Structure 1
């Protein structure tokens, strides 16, 4: 269940970004690229995370908690920096998907279900990014800052739960 919820959380970050882009012409293609990258980056992240577990098995839960905490904090702080620039769809999709790498490193370190998270992140990201791009085109009144706060607080909460669990199991 945590994997499905985190797949949704990483998709919310994309929604927050894409709600700020009212003039995207190829919304379906951008949503598809972003969803695919939200699946590719976690595969790489899980591999790195699993590798790190073999090296840092005693510290993996603490490191994972710290990574998730700072990713969540970065999402919250990014609401202050709101620059909109015209960039190619592929670059925009990569930029919107890079955070899934660091989240999946943490999940790889925790040995959570890789494919469940990857499929969840891809499906949620495609659906929500496509919807948010259509809403942005229609000048939907909700801005991305609220969603970034929700995603950031959710990741910080997961990091705290992971930290408490690891301390209780020690």
Structure 2
């Protein structure tokens, strides 16, 4: 269940970004690219996380909670930067998906179910990014900052719980 919720959380960051882009012409293509990258980056991150786990077994939960904490903090702090610039679709999809790499390193270190998280991240991202691009074109009133706050606080919460669990296991 945690993997499915985490897939949703990483998709919320994309929703927050894409709600700010009302003039995207190829919404389906951008949503598809972003979903695919939300699945590729976690595969790389999981493999790196598992490699790090084999080297840093005793420190993995602490490192994981620190990574998740700072990613959540970055999401919250990024709500102040609302500048929108025109960039190519592929670059936008990569930029929107890159954070899943670092998040997945943490989950790889925690040995969570890789395939479930990857599928969840891809499906949630595709559906929510397409909906948010559609809503942005219709000038939907919800602000992306709210979703970034929700995603950031969720990652902060997961990081704190991971840290507490690592103290209990010591």
**TM-score range for the pair, normalised by the shorter chain length:** over 0.9
Distance 2:85 2:163 in 1: 38
Match of 1:46 in 2: 46
Aligned partners of 2:82, 2:140: CA distance in 1, in Å?
17
1:169, CA displacement in angstroms? 1.2
TM-score between both structures, scaled by the size of structure 1: 0.99
Q: Deviations over 1:53-109 (max 9, x none)?
A: 011000000000000000000000000111100000000000000000000000010
Structure 1 residue runs of 5 or longer lacking an equivalent are none
Q: CA deviation at 1:166?
A: 1.0
Shift of the alpha carbon at 1:50?
Answer: 0.3
Over aligned residue pairs, what C-alpha RMSD do you find?
0.4
Structure 1 counterpart of 2:71: 71
Scaled by the length of structure 2, what TM-score is found? 0.99
The total of aligned residue pairs comes to 170
1:115 maps onto 2:150 in alignment? no
Q: Which whole-Å CA distance do the structure 2 matches of 1:82 and 1:51 have between them?
A: 36
| Structure 1 runs (4+) greater than 6 angstroms displaced | none
